[in-house]
Amino acid sequence: MSHPFDPTWATAGEIARAVASGETTASSVIDATLARIAKVDRTLNAFTEVTSARARARAQAVDKARAAGEPLGPLAGVPFGVKNLFDIAGVTTLAGSKINRANPAAERDSPLIERLEAAGAVLVGALNMGEYAYDFTGENIHDGPSRNPHDTSRMTGGSSGGSGGAVAGGLVPLSLGSDTNGSIRVPASLCGLFGLKPTYGRLPRNGSFPFVDSLDHLGPLARSAGDLALAYDAMQGHDPADAACLDRPLEPVSPQLDTGIDGLRIAVAGGHFQQGAFPEALAALDRVADALRARQEVEIPQAARARAAAYVITAAEGATLHLERLRQQADDFDPAVRDRLIAGAMIPAAHVLAAQKFRRWYQAELCNLFESVDAIIAPATPCTAPKIGQQTFVLEGVEMPVRANLGIYTQPISFIGLPVVCVPVPLTPLPIGVQIIARPWREDIALRVAHALERDRVAFAPRPRSSRANPAKK
Amino acid sequence: MARTSKSPAKRRPAPARKKRPIKRRPAATKPRRDPLDDFIVAAARALDLPAKRPWLPAIKANLRVTLQHANVVAEFRLPDDAEPAPVFRA
């Protein structure tokens, strides 16, 4: 007797194939997903809104289309959640804040939600995040912290904390997050997931609440590189409503994933990217480097200065965005965010312009570097998931705030918009991520490397021990 | 009557006194004011931002870190014709 299809730990690709083949229905998948969210999210605190009625209606439409013999999309029946800074029609876009709760509901979905649903995926809700995305921890003073499924006393990382917790905890196989300085890659690293931050300007950001226009990116998190590629392919395309989104031809990656990595020149980032790293971060980097036979070490020039420049631009632009809210409703902010924003408002303009000038210099230097390599690998975070509430950690003998420094290795990369895939290395007791960095517009290279590492079981998304020890909890 | 002064020869020499350390009043020192404190107060006023007194230490700590990062960037010399990253296209 065959068992009914269980979507809990299935990949998005497996769910879509099962729906397309009739092994299961989209409605069954969504019912199981909603039941699991109701049960498990009391602990993980990943969701801030569950859109049950909408999800059931959407799933029925997918099933109806199949019954009518219509072609199904590559994500047919795949449940997904979005960080609560994405617009969802009929839902107020919180962006992790208390202040935005007074705003009217969004009138339409973000273009990325529309594109995923056009491919057959089913939105099941909005996900917890750090307030206004100014965060690397996944903690939220208004909604409570997102909890890491591998150890619920630990951080998910942020600011896309719920996007990490929901996928790592088996609530959904796919989520969307945003990444200004590392907010997709940090939770992917701490939760043991694959995360894609595409090239700056690849995916449209309209219909999402901004943070730092110069640095904001949107992208997916998943438990497999193949699922990242499926989602990324479905979301590509120009949208003139985002001034930074370039009009480029669609470049689907899924068909190329299995082409392998022969001939790719892959190097390891030295210098800044290994300073301050805890032993587990270096162990993961070594494991990936060995598997890829990456023997060459390259120095990304002025990476620490790039991180400093990203820090300055973030502080100043973030403060500019929130200036009026700070004047009118300062007491309604998370104090940790408020005080950073107020300080950011006081940065002299000369410093911000200098950082933007440095950004262009740094971009030219890295483009030169990518003449001699196709991909660079680097740690994603300096350590595995810290405890929730942990304020500081020690980097290179200096006690530093966790909130501002979990992204020391991600910031110099997003600063110039390079495409990156964070791959999970399943260390014990906690996973940690490694960044696969490619030159602009070559997401395909980063995804092919990630897929090869997954195929060879060097990188994969481990199931939380609690779910392995007690299958009944699935 | 004119007073007659005692002959100095008849005066007994004073017993040798133990030298006492000179007590000096501590000079009135004003606590040194960090210019960053003044800057924050002035900037908050100029920007019409509500920087309440209990918030000031955290604002200052954040501003100090950001300025340190800004100085790291400023130390890097770029040519005068270096363009900032976002360039407006008409």
Q: Which sequence spans correspond to the domains of chain A?
A: 12-473
Which secondary-structure segment (H or E) carries A80? strand A79-83
Q: How many angstroms separate the first and last alpha carbons of chain A?
A: 20
Q: Helix/strand/coil (H, E, C) string of A160-207?
A: CHHHHHHHHCCCCCEEEEEECCCCCHHHHHHHCCEEEECCCCCCCCCC
Whose CA is closest to A219, among A207, A241, A236? A236
Q: What is the DSSP letter of A297?
A: E
Check: CATH 3.90.1300.10 for A12-473? yes
CA distances from A399 to A28, A336, A403 (A): 50, 18, 12
Q: Which pairing describes strands A122-127 and A79-83: parallel, antiparallel, or unpaired?
A: parallel
Q: How far is B76 from chain A (nearest CA, A)?
A: 8
Q: Is the dihedral of CA B34, B36, B37, B42 positive or negative?
A: positive
Contacts of B51 in chain A (CB under 8 A): 342
Q: What is the structure's pLDDT at B33?
A: 85
Q: What is the structure's pLDDT at A377?
A: 98
% chain A with pLDDT above 70: 98
Whether chain B has a CB inside 8 Å of the CB on A291: the answer is no
- Say yes or no for a CB contact (<8 Å) between A357 and B82: yes
- Give me the interface pTM, i.e. the ipTM: 0.93
CA distances from A103 to A106, A112, A126, A220, A331 (A): 9, 21, 16, 26, 17
Q: What is the structure's pLDDT at A472?
A: 40
Q: How far is B86 from chain A (nearest CA, A)?
A: 7
Express each pLDDT in A82-106 by its tens digit: 999 999 999 999 999 999 999 999 9
Strand partners, A434: A379, A423
| pLDDT at residue A333 greater than cutoff 70 | yes
Mean pLDDT of A111-125: 98
Q: Give the chain A residue nearest B40 (alpha carbons).
A: A346
Neighbours of B60 (CB within 10 A): 18
Contacts of B59 in chain A (CB under 8 A): 339, 342-343
pLDDT tens per residue, chain B (90 residues)?
Answer: 344 444 444 455 555 556 666 666 666 667 778 999 999 999 999 999 999 999 999 999 999 999 999 999 999 999 999 999 876 777
**Which value, in Å, is the radius of gyration of the alpha carbons in chain B?**
33
Residues A58 and A117 sit within 8 Å (Cβ to Cβ): yes
| pLDDT at residue A149 greater than cutoff 60 | yes
Residues A225 and A452 sit within 8 Å (Cβ to Cβ): no
CA distance A267 to A289: 8
- Say yes or no for a CB contact (<8 Å) between B78 and A323: no
Mean pLDDT of A8-13: 98
- Domain coordinates in residue numbering, chain B: 50-75
Residue A359 CA neighbour count, 13 Å, CB half: 28
Q: What is the structure's pLDDT at B90?
A: 74
Q: What is the structure's pLDDT at B69?
A: 97
At A422 the three-state DSSP class reads strand
Q: Give the chain B residue nearest A314 (alpha carbons).
A: B66
Q: Rounded mean pLDDT of chain A?
A: 96
Q: Which two tokens stand for residue B70?
A: 């800004």
Mean pLDDT of A456-473: 78
Q: What is the structure's pLDDT at A473?
A: 37
Active site residues of A: 83, 159, 183
Contacts of A351 in chain B (CB under 8 A): 67, 70, 73-74
- Say yes or no for a CB contact (<8 Å) between A308 and B69: yes
Q: What is the structure's pLDDT at A471?
A: 39
Whose CA is closest to A216, among A245, A187, A175, A173? A245
Express each pLDDT in A191-203 by its tens digit: 999 999 999 999 9
% chain A with pLDDT above 90: 96
| pLDDT at residue A65 greater than cutoff 80 | yes
Q: What is the structure's pLDDT at A389?
A: 97
Whether chain B has a CB inside 8 Å of the CB on A400: the answer is no
Strand partners, A435: A378, A422
Nearest CB among A214, A323, A344 relative to B86 is that of A214
Burial A360-396 (b: 16+ CB within 10 A, else e): bbbbeebeebbeebbbbbbbbbbbbbbebeeeebebe
Whether chain B has a CB inside 8 Å of the CB on A323: the answer is yes
Nearest CB among B44, B62, B83 relative to A360 is that of B83
- Say yes or no for a CB contact (<8 Å) between B55 and A323: no
- Say yes or no for a CB contact (<8 Å) between B73 and A309: yes
Q: Is the pTM of this model over 0.95?
A: no
Q: What is the structure's pLDDT at A124?
A: 98
Express each pLDDT in A130-140 by its tens digit: 999 999 999 99
Beta-carbon contacts of residue B60 (< 8 Å; ≥ 6 apart): A343, B34, B36, B37, B40
Nearest CB among A336, A343, A354 relative to B63 is that of A343
Nearest CB among A302, A312, A330 relative to B70 is that of A312
What is the maximum alpha-carbon separation in chain A?
A: 71
